[in-house]
Structure 1
Amino acid sequence: MAKPQTRRDQNREARRAAIVSAAREAFLEHGYAATSMSTIATQLGGSKGTLWAYFPSKEDLFAAVLDEVTSNFRQNLDDTLRPEREYHATLLDFAERFLRKMLDPDSIRLHRLIIGESGRFPEIGRLFYARGPQIVMERLSRYIAGRMEAGDLRSEDPLQAAMHLIQLIQTQQNLRLWGIIGIPEPDEIRVHAEKALDLFDRAYAT
């Protein structure tokens, strides 16, 4: 049984959440290089020493922001990719959810940040990959491997198959990143997800 939280623990968690929320907006609005720990501390109305007590470095704080941005989608993956579901409905559900996440305004800002600054700060690219794409790829490939064993999909490299499906889904994201299109309507997202899955089936379905 979990130990009840004390008022001090609750206050500390609330303070940490406030720091991460402020940092999230600062990073996504101004970028990684232009955001300093001092700026965030000033915005929160506290000392930089208090901020350092929660996060020893800007990299640690950025990692916490990444966890917040990606946590809900990562938590939903296990529910989405349940092995007992019919595989086509499951992958269509995944494709729609993944595309909605990729086209979300904060996701677009985050991807622009990573693309624009990971050349100078390769550590943020590694952090992003470990907390987002790598987890999605591993869980999707594990699901696909199960479907290959069940005979729903041809026996191929499941990781390569997962990469192909994700790349098919992500084509719309590039248009958003470049400012070509706005946020698609739900029916447009579903149509794109269906087309991506149709191409995937042509390559991998038995």
Structure 2
Amino acid sequence: MSEPKSRRDLNREARRETIVATAREAFLDHGYAATSMSTIAVQLGGSKGTLWAYFPSKEDLFSAVLDDVTSNFRQSLEDALRPGRDCATTLLDFLERFQGKLLHPDNIRLHRLIVGEGGRFPEIGRIFYARGPQIVIEQLSLYLRGRMDAGDLRADDPVQAAMHLLLLAQTQQNLRLWGVVGMPGPEEARQQAARALDLFTRAYGAKVAP
């Protein structure tokens, strides 16, 4: 049994959460290049030295922001891929949650940041991939491998299958990034997920015995 945290530890955790929340809005509102540690320190009302005591660099702070942005999402995907349900129900649930996250306004702002500034700051692309897409691919491919072994899906490379399913789920994201469409309603989102699942099943569904 773990010992209760001291007041000092609780205060430090609360301060860290405040820093990450402030940095998150700064990065999303102004971009990576225009957001400096000094600017964030001013917004927090403290010194840059205090900020550095928590995060030694802007890259470390950006990583913490991405962890904060994706942590609940990763937990949601783990729940969607939980055992005990049939493959189609599980994948439809996964796709609905994944698409909902992709099209959320904060995620659209984050993707614009990564794409817009990744050329000048390639480190942010690598940080983003490690904190988000890579984890999703690993979770999904592990599930698909199990379904392939069970015969629910055609045996193939589960990592490639996971990437194909994710790409199908991203068909609306570019339209959102370009400002062409808005956030879909619940029924439209479900139909989009169902179409993506239908295409995936046509490619990876187990063959019916003659």
| TM-score, with length taken from structure 2 | 0.97
8 A Cα contact 1:28 1:113, kept in partner: yes
Name the amino acid aligned to 1:199. Answer: L
8 A Cα contact 1:22 1:44, kept in partner: yes
Extract unaligned runs of 5+ from structure 1: none
Following TM superposition, where does structure 1 have runs of at least 4 consecutive aligned residues deviating by more than 3 angstroms? none
Measured in 1, the distance between the counterparts of 2:180 and 2:101 equals: 18
Number of equivalent positions: 206
The residue that corresponds to 1:186 in the other structure is 186
The residue that corresponds to 1:48 in the other structure is 48
8 A Cα contact 1:83 1:146, kept in partner: no
Measured in 2, the distance between the counterparts of 1:54 and 1:189 equals: 40
Q: CA deviation at 1:80?
A: 1.1
SS at match of 1:181: coil
8 A Cα contact 2:91 2:197, kept in partner: yes
Measured in 2, the distance between the counterparts of 1:205 and 1:17 equals: 44
Measured in 2, the distance between the counterparts of 1:205 and 1:117 equals: 39
RMSD over aligned CA atoms reads 0.6
Extract unaligned runs of 5+ from structure 2: none
The residue that corresponds to 2:20 in the other structure is 20
The residue that corresponds to 2:106 in the other structure is 106
Name the % identity. 73
Measured in 1, the distance between the counterparts of 2:101 and 2:66 equals: 14
Q: CA deviation at 1:84?
A: 2.4
SS at match of 2:94: helix
Q: CA deviation at 1:145?
A: 0.5
Measured in 1, the distance between the counterparts of 2:133 and 2:186 equals: 23
Measured against aligned partners, the alpha-carbon deviations of 1:129-164 in whole angstroms (never above 9, x if no partner) come to: 000000000110010000000000000111111111
Q: 2:96 aligned with 1:96, yes or no?
A: yes
The residue that corresponds to 2:205 in the other structure is 205
Measured against aligned partners, the alpha-carbon deviations of 1:53-81 in whole angstroms (never above 9, x if no partner) come to: 00000000000000000000111222211
The residue that corresponds to 1:37 in the other structure is 37
8 A Cα contact 1:66 1:131, kept in partner: yes
Name the amino acid aligned to 1:182. Answer: G
SS at match of 2:172: helix
Name the amino acid aligned to 1:84. Answer: G
Q: Name the stretch that deviates more: 78-87 or 152-161.
A: 78-87
Structure-to-structure mapping, 1:77-96, within 5 angstroms:
77-96=77-96
Measured in 2, the distance between the counterparts of 1:4 and 1:82 equals: 31
Q: 2:73 aligned with 1:73, yes or no?
A: yes
Q: CA deviation at 1:83?
A: 2.9
The residue that corresponds to 2:59 in the other structure is 59
The residue that corresponds to 1:4 in the other structure is 4
The residue that corresponds to 1:136 in the other structure is 136
Name the amino acid aligned to 1:5. Answer: K
8 A Cα contact 2:77 2:98, kept in partner: no
Measured in 1, the distance between the counterparts of 2:3 and 2:179 equals: 49
Measured in 2, the distance between the counterparts of 1:2 and 1:190 equals: 43
Measured against aligned partners, the alpha-carbon deviations of 1:149-196 in whole angstroms (never above 9, x if no partner) come to: 000000011111111100001010110001101111111110000000
